[in-house]
């Protein structure tokens, strides 16, 4: 199975949450997409620290 480095992901979110999230992203000097990516990376790091490394692919 081949995995692309970048994939598109569509989600539904409350307008108020998205607007506030956009405010935070702009404050941090990032796009909403980049801010979300940073948040996901932090959460994965926290999870792996607590539970252990996530192994997704077998080489």
Which pair of tokens denotes residue 34? Answer: 């980049």
- pLDDT beneath 70: ranges in the chain: 1-3, 58-59
- Indicate the angle between helix axes 32-51 and 15-27, nearest 10 degrees: 90
**Tens digits of per-residue pLDDT, 29-38?**
999 999 999 9
Distance in angstroms (rounded) separating the CA atoms of residues 17 and 12 = 11
pTM, two decimals, is 0.80
Distance in angstroms (rounded) separating the CA atoms of residues 18 and 55 = 31
| Domain-wise residue ranges, the chain | 15-51
Pairs from 38-44 (Cβ < 8 Å, separation ≥ 24): none
Q: What is the pLDDT of residue 2?
A: 58
Q: What is the pLDDT of residue 31?
A: 98
Distance in angstroms (rounded) separating the CA atoms of residues 5 and 7 = 7
């Amino acid at each position: 199975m081949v995995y692309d480095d970048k994939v598109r992901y569509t989600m539904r979110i409350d307008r108020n949450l998205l607007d506030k999230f956009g405010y935070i992203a702009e404050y941090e000097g990032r796009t909403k997409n980049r801010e979300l990516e940073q948040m996901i990376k932090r959460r994965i790091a926290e999870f792996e620290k607590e539970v252990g490394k996530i192994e997704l692919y077998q080489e």
